[in-house]
Copies of this chain bind each other. A is one copy, B any other.
Amino acid sequence: MTKPLNVALVGYGFMGKAHANAYRKVGHFFPELEHRPQLTCLCARDPDKAEKFAETWGVESVESDWRRVVERDDIDVIDICSPNNTHHDLAIAAAEAGKWVLCEKPLAMSTAEAEAMTAAVEKAAVPNMVWFNYRRVPAIALARQLVDEGRTGRPFHYRATYLQDWTIAPDLPQGGQTLWRLDVDVAGSGVTGDLLAHSIDTAMWLNGPIEQVVAATETFVKERVHQATGNAQPVGIDDACMFLARFANGSMGTFESTRYARGRKNYNTFELNGADGSVHFDLEDPQYLDFFEHKLPGTDQKVADHLTGWRRIHATNFEHPYMDHWWVPGCTIGYEHTFINALADFLAGVASSTPAQPDFRCALQTQKVCDAVLKSAHTGEWVTTGVEAE
């Protein structure tokens, strides 16, 4: 027997579309789930656009004030995909109202906010998750599986980049509904919270806590017109951020993110080098995990020297994570499926009382690293992150 689950979506931008699609599709591809999400409510400020979104996606009702949503008894879940500066108040109110809370990343504007939010959901004991959707790329989940199977061995190096190029033009405005990610008051930070948060979440999922960082940031375009006011104003975000890291397991890390890497669109890559094997991933080719196998796990047996090489695994076999829910080997899935897989995991986690990760507490650790990175960029010194051991 399936149960309907009434979801209120807060925000209708790019992420609102991605989440709405996830709620619409999850039951078709994961029919074994107990809960059947319904798009019960959309909360957004602009009523015309909200109505249009609701019509397109079949959302039953529209609200303009999130406080009203929190109060509604017919809502089970509040899904926050509004800009970063709204996360804190919304999540805490939702938790206090006993709602399940899902929140887009980055969890918060600061570690302090994230701690308060984590405390709130834990106090309320409500199911909660942060949408670090890339953990649900099958190839990335496969990377985690290979690490867990001991196929990489003692880790030496981790390197990650998240490169884009969409803000190079100096006449691109900042702020407003579509460009709030460039407005520091709304976004909190630039690429650190938006892109590196993904890289850090993946890194710590695959390679454990980051203990120390040293960082540098840059703002290449110093002033941009604000979309709302039409006035030029200083750019407060970090256009680019790079940092070195020390992991708790003794390995070294390099991280870099920018929106000024001409030709890189969604170049979210990582590579983990261990004594027994390495994995490499690139989000622009999301169907692949590259795996270099040196030694078979749990043995002293090495791959024959004339056979070694990077194996390009087309992660579309039924045996790959999530892929038995989709099509057949060789048929790729895409960006949007990471949200559907994440939602399926979340719902399965609730049903089985084994919360899907990253929950708020897990995402709080990523927030700590982001804050340490920004602090180091400011001071020029190595900063200890304070990330909790798992």
A-side residues, CB < 8 A to B, are 14, 18, 20-21, 24-25, 27-28, 31, 55-57, 142, 145, 152, 156-157, 159, 161, 163-166, 168, 214-216, 218, 220, 240, 242-244, 246, 250, 252, 254, 256, 258, 260-267, 271, 273-278, 283-287, 291-294, 304-314, 316-320, 327-337, 380-382
Contacts and interface: CB of A to CB of B under 8 A. Distances in A.
A31 B157 CA distance: 40
Contact of A260 (B25, B142, B273): B273
A314 B82 CA distance: 29
A1 to B, nearest CB: 12
Contact of A252 (B159, B168, B240): B240
A329 B265 contact: yes
B284 A285 contact: no
Given A240-B156, A308-B317, A292 B382 contact: no
6 contacts: A31-B56, A157-B256, A157-B261, A262-B273, A262-B278, A308-B317
A347 to B, nearest CB: 15
Nearest to A170: B275
A214 B156 contact: no
B214 A284 contact: no
Taken together, the copies of this chain in the complex come to 4
Given A157-B261, A262-B276, A310-B311, 8 more contacts: A24-B25, A166-B329, A220-B250, A261-B278, A263-B292, A267-B330, A304-B319, A312-B312
A335 B334 CA distance: 8
A273 B263 contact: yes
Contacts of A57: 28
3 cross-chain pairs, A with B, having the tightest CB-CB distances, nearest first: A266-B330, A265-B330, A263-B292
B291 A309 contact: yes
Contacts of A142: 306
Most chain B Cβ neighbours within 10 Å, of A244, A330, A380: A330
